[in-house]
């Protein structure tokens, strides 16, 4: 089967934008929906980690909103066939010297794009 990687990248870009909006808006339901609803999902944060969808949801519900002014740069999406893609991006906040780094592995699960693994880190400060 021929895969149009541009179509896959566009689909994942849309899913990523929806997730990013939910993150900035503090929409726990939408953030949680972006992740694979499975005990094997993994998210590593700046000073935290979650294993499994239940732990991830509980953690999200307890978190304060993001600081205002989140800005993304150098967002890259690489498709690997029609059902897997990796998104990497850098992020900053006004008045902060920390550069955040975010990577996500997206997989098409039951016809919908879901994050199956995510990692967030920061440099500077």
Which residue has tokens 């978190």? 63
Residue 35 near residue 115, CB atoms below 8 Å: yes
Reported as a single tens digit per residue, the pLDDT across 35-71 is: 999 999 999 999 999 999 999 999 999 999 999 999 9
Residue 94 near residue 106, CB atoms below 8 Å: no
Report CA 116 to chain centroid distance, whole Å.
Answer: 9
Q: Which CATH number fits domain 5-123: 3.40.1390.10, 3.30.9.10, 3.40.50.2300, 3.10.450.50?
A: 3.10.450.50
pTM of the model: 0.94
Measure the CA–CA gap between 101 and 34, rounded to whole angstroms.
Answer: 19
Measure the CA–CA gap between 90 and 122, rounded to whole angstroms.
Answer: 9
The pLDDT mean for the chain works out to: 95
């Amino acid at each position: 089967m021929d895969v149009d990687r541009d179509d896959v990248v566009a689909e994942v870009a849309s899913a990523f934008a929806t997730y990013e909006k939910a993150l900035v808006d503090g929409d726990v339901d939408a953030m949680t929906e972006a992740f694979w609803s499975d005990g094997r999902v993994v998210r590593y944060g700046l000073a935290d980690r979650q294993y499994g969808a239940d732990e991830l949801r509980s953690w999200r519900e307890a978190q304060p909103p993001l600081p205002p002014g989140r800005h993304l740069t150098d967002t890259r999406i690489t498709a690997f066939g029609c059902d897997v893609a990796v998104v990497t991006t850098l992020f900053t906040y006004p008045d902060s010297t920390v550069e955040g780094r975010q990577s996500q592995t997206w997989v098409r699960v039951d016809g919908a794009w879901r994050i199956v693994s995510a990692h967030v880190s920061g440099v500077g400060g």
